[in-house]
Structure 1
Amino acid sequence: MTLVKFNPEKRNNALMPFGDVFESIFNDTFFNDRVMTRVPAANISESEDHFHVEMAAPGLKKEDFKLNLERNVLQVSVEQAAEQNDAQRNYSKREYSYTSWVRSFTLPESADAEQIEATYADGILKIDIAKREEAKAVRRQIEIK
């Protein structure tokens, strides 16, 4: 997955040209449970001097996460053994289960791979990736003569 800008105005999807017609069908839990992978959702944003990745991963501890950077790809992973209580339960519906997963993000050229910080609090993993100095937006007031 790459860090690209999100355009909410552009909702054109080649796989779903009729959009809303099939939306209720594919948003049904029958399809979601089978089609959607069970990985935490991620929000990716950008500020003047950083890229920000936030992942919703409730019920974990910061020790559960592993962050690796290799060849400009940031990989976030969690590997947990299933609890014995889960094996004894008979779920009628299970919408969250983050026992083991991996998410990968390709960093843009403007990212500074040496300055990546991560924190985990209140079920949200926050990763801040600094921009290289030359990639930061230059702003200045231009005098009119």
Structure 2
Amino acid sequence: METLVKRDGMFPSIISQFANPLFEDFFTRDISDWADRSISAIGVNLPSVNLKETDTKLEIELAAPGLKKEDFKIELENNMLSISAEKEEKKEITNKKDDYVRKEFNYKSFYRSFNLPDYADENKIEATYKDGILDVIIAKKPGDRKKLSKSISIK
């Protein structure tokens, strides 16, 4: 087997059937090119979130398909809302005729936290999970909520 050596900038790149693409990328990719990679491409599972605010409520929609409502943990401490989930899957296949056992396992977890504003009513928080979307609705406290508006000058 022959191995090719390719020069890309200062670092040589070894191209062969044994080359690890992540290792190659680490040394040969431009630093600005890493920002273009998706989180799932590098092995991190962080669910996407939509944040909405109306006159009466705050809403957090978190995309987490494949989980059950029992997998989630939602906590509130000092106006910090934390949403986490853990799930472990195990599978075992046994074939006595061919004398083999195959075991697989998968572990998923994530943790997201959100700093709630002072006008969020910590006593009126509801959560539902349907069709892979965790929906957390936080009511706003009644009363006058002045919105701060100011112009920032650029120096």
Class of the TM-score when normalised by the shorter of the 2 chains: 0.5 to 0.7
Higher helix residue share:
1
AA at the equivalent of 1:57: A
Of 126, 129, 141 in structure 1, the residue corresponding to residue 135 of structure 2 is 126
Contact 1:48 1:136 in 2 (8 A): no
Report the counterpart of residue 52 of structure 2 in structure 1.
45
Higher Cα Rg: structure 1 or 2? 2
Of 52, 69, 83 in structure 2, the residue corresponding to residue 62 of structure 1 is 69
Identity of aligned residues (%): 40
Of 13, 24, 41 in structure 2, the residue corresponding to residue 33 of structure 1 is 41
Q: CA deviation at 1:136?
A: 6.0
Gap change, CA 1:112 and 1:129, over 3 Å in 2: same
Gap change, CA 1:135 and 1:123, over 3 Å in 2: farther
Note the residue ranges of structure 1 that are not aligned, 5 or more in a row: 1-21, 90-96, 138-145
Report the counterpart of residue 141 of structure 1 in structure 2.
none
TM-score by length of 2: 0.58
Q: CA RMSD in A?
A: 2.9
Contact 1:57 1:125 in 2 (8 A): yes
Q: 1: CA distance between counterparts of 2:117 and 2:107?
A: 27
Contact 1:57 1:98 in 2 (8 A): no
Gap change, CA 1:46 and 1:135, over 3 Å in 2: farther
Gap change, CA 1:43 and 1:131, over 3 Å in 2: same
Q: How does 1:88-103 map to 2 (within 5 A)?
A: 88=104, 99-103=108-112
TM-score by length of 1: 0.62
AA at the equivalent of 1:50: K
AA at the equivalent of 1:84: K
Residues 22-49 of structure 1, C-alpha deviations (whole Å, 9 max, x = no match): 5x653235x7633x84211110010110
Task: Count residues with an aligned counterpart.
Answer: 107
Note the residue ranges of structure 2 that are not aligned, 5 or more in a row: 1-31, 93-102, 147-155
Report the counterpart of residue 18 of structure 1 in structure 2.
none
Report the counterpart of residue 119 of structure 2 in structure 1.
110
Report the counterpart of residue 143 of structure 1 in structure 2.
none
Q: 2: CA distance between counterparts of 1:125 and 1:40?
A: 10
SS of 2:88 mapped into structure 1? coil
Query: RCO (CA 8 Å, sep 6+): is it higher in 1 or 2?
Result: 1
